[in-house]
């Protein structure tokens, strides 16, 4: 029997050669088990005696942790850890790690891609030509980017990189983040303001925050009503950061001009979701982080978190470090 059991609970691709090779190269005696659980119930019996989990999307609930007798560390394939109950993990003495520098380049570029597509009315022009027409596309003339304002909600690694790229295009950048000091924002070329002011002044609002109790439905009917009728909402965070029913009503009523969404409240969405029927929304299927290089980094670093911990050392990115007393 191996000294340690590590379970990969779920991942987008079936191959786990990279993870296996890193475990072997570590010198640890590890049994690496791969399952593909979609619900907490499907985790058992595989995780009951696991020393560590590597998780993508399946929820690791308090009930799951109650039944794990040996688990010491959970490593997330990603930045956000909203699928892991952090309070329960801390109470069970389980360290939760992430990959905080994952997909910074990819998601920031995707955000700017959305901004440019919205500014240039790209999807409307594409549909116009595909329908056999030419000249005089709907939507009117775009506004110069240099005369527009981007508001970024959350100035973490990705939000800051979005600001840098947007600034290079001549866009004025506002930022909202209660954890960032004004002098830090100023050094990044960002005017730090409150959420309400950001919503009122921005032509594009980009959500780049984690999903927490604090940010759940951060953008609802009241917040959307503050935005300009010509403004666009870009959600690069998590679907539940936005009240999707309120967003649908705002888009139908013309409260805002449009939206670009990489995430939705329900993923995958129901085929009859009314939001999918709207022409003033651009969708991508939660793929903003996707490049071959980012995927390799994600798998490598998530696995290294586990290896480091099982060797008796502390990985850098422990999300519940304070609660664990490290």
DSSP E strand stretches across the chain: 4-8, 30-34, 52-55, 73-76, 95-97, 149-153, 172-176, 191-192, 204-207, 232-235, 258-261, 281-283
Length of the chain: 326
pLDDT of residue 145: 96
Residue 242's SS3 state is: strand
For the segment 161-173, what is each residue's pLDDT rounded down to a tens digit?
999 999 999 999 9
Catalytic: 120? no
Collect the ranges in the chain with pLDDT lower than 70. Answer: none
Task: Identify the active-site residue in 76, 110, 286, 304.
Answer: 286
Q: How many CA atoms lie within 13 A of 270 on its CB side?
A: 4
pLDDT of residue 324: 94
pLDDT of residue 104: 97
Helix (H) or strand (E) holding 164: helix 157-168
Domains and CATH numbers, the chain: 4-102+292-324 (3.40.50.720), 104-283 (3.40.50.720)
pLDDT of residue 157: 95
Spatial distance between the Cα atoms of 209 and 80, rounded to a whole number of angstroms: 9
Radius of gyration (Cα) for the chain, nearest Å?
Answer: 22
SS (H, E, C) 8-19: ECCCCCCCCHHH
Catalytic: 300? no
Spatial distance between the Cα atoms of 160 and 208, rounded to a whole number of angstroms: 10
DSSP E strand stretches across 84-203: 95-97, 149-153, 172-176, 191-192
Task: Identify the active-site residue in 76, 110, 238, 299.
Answer: 238
Catalytic: 293? no
Task: Identify the active-site residue in 41, 267, 293, 296.
Answer: 267
Residue 89 and residue 96 in contact, taking contact as beta carbons nearer than 8 Å? yes
pLDDT of residue 137: 81
Which DSSP string do the residues of 269-316 spell out, in sequence order? PPTT-GGGG-TTEEE--S-TT--HHHHHHHHHHHHHHHHHHHTT---S
């Amino acid at each position: 029997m191996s000294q340690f059991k590590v379970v990969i609970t779920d991942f987008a691709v079936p191959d786990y050669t990279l993870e296996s090779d890193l475990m072997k190269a570590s010198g640890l005696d590890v049994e690496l088990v791969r399952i593909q659980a979609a619900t907490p119930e499907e985790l058992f019996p595989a995780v009951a005696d696991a020393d560590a989990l590597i998780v993508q999307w399946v929820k690791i609930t308090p009930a799951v942790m109650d039944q794990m007798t040996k688990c010491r560390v959970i490593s997330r394939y990603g930045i956000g850890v909203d699928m892991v109950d952090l309070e329960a993990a801390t109470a069970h003495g389980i360290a939760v790690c992430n990959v905080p520098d994952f997909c910074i380049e990819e998601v920031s570029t995707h955000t700017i891609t959305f901004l440019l597509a919205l500014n240039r009315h790209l999807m409307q022009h594409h549909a116009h030509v595909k329908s056999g027409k030419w000249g005089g596309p709907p939507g009117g003339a775009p506004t110069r980017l240099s005369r527009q304002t981007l508001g970024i909600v959350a100035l973490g690694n990705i939000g800051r990189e979005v600001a840098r790229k947007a600034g290079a295009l001549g866009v004025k950048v506002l930022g909202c983040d209660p954890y960032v000091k004004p002098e830090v924002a100023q050094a990044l070329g960002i005017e730090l303001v409150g959420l309400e002011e950001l919503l009122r002044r921005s032509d594009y609002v980009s959500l780049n925050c984690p999903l927490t109790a604090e940010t759940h439905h951060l953008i609802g009917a009241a917040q959307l009503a503050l935005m300009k009728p010509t403004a666009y909402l870009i959600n690069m965070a998590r679907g539940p950061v936005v009240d999707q029913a309120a967003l649908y009503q705002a888009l139908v009523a013309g409260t805002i001009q449009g939206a670009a969404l990489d995430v939705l409240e329900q993923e995958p969405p129901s085929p009859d979701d009314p939001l999918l029927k709207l022409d003033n929304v651009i969708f991508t299927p939660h793929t903003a982080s996707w490049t071959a290089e980012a995927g390799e980094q994600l798998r490598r670093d998530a696995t290294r978190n586990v290896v480091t911990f099982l060797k008796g050392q502390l990985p850098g990115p422990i999300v519940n470090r304070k609660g664990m007393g490290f």
